[in-house]
Structure 1
Amino acid sequence: MKCHRIEELLELLEPEWQKDSELNLLAFLVKLANEAGYQGDLADLSDDILIYHLKMRHSAKDEMIPGLKKDQEDDFKTAILKARGIIQ
């Protein structure tokens, strides 16, 4: 994990963990993993899962993931032209 990802994870984690301050860090990570629907070993839990879950934790179920939202186009033709670099 790179430094900026560690910083981003800690920045997102701190306010949420303070709301559940009775839990230790590992118990809180298990809670986040369960909320995100992760079913693997905790040792294999990726930073991406934690970051995206923390970003989307209190948003509506149908809200788009921030990383995808910025690239969304309303029509197919514009999306293709942008993908091919024809328009900006």
Structure 2
Amino acid sequence: MSCHRIDELLELLAPVWQKHQDLDLIPMLAKLAEEAGFVGPLTDLTDDVLIYHLKMLETGEGKMIPGIAKDYVEDYDWKAAILKARGFDEGEG
């Protein structure tokens, strides 16, 4: 795991861990893995599962997934985008 992933994981983990200060690291990871629906030994738990789950916890119910939200465009004109990608201008007939 690269340094930026470790930093991201620790940043996301800190507020959740503050709420469960009675737990040590491994029980905290096991709790998060269970919440995320992870089945298997903790040695197989990836940082991606933890980071995604922690991001979703802070997003709130009914909100858009953070990775998708940054690319979302309101009222996007798909037809014009497809035509443009294929080399047609909107003005062509």
Q: What displacement does 1:77 show? A: 2.9
Tell me the residue number matched to 2:44: 44
Q: Measure, in 1, the Cα distance between the counterparts of 2:58 and 2:67.
A: 16
Q: 1:69 to 1:42 in 2, by over 3 A?
A: same
**Amino acid of the residue matched to residue 71 of structure 2?**
D
**Gaps spanning 5+ residues in structure 2: where?**
88-93
Alignment TM-score, normalising by the size of structure 2: 0.74
Q: Measure, in 1, the Cα distance between the counterparts of 2:35 and 2:80.
A: 36
Alignment partner of 1:77 out of 69, 76, 79:
79
Q: Measure, in 1, the Cα distance between the counterparts of 2:6 and 2:14.
A: 12
Tell me the residue number matched to 1:67: 67
Runs of 4+ in 1 over 6 A off after TM superposition: none
Alignment TM-score, normalising by the size of structure 1: 0.78
Structure label with greater radius of gyration:
2
Q: Does 1:55 align with 2:55?
A: yes
Sequence identity (%): 58
CA RMSD of aligned residues (A): 2.3
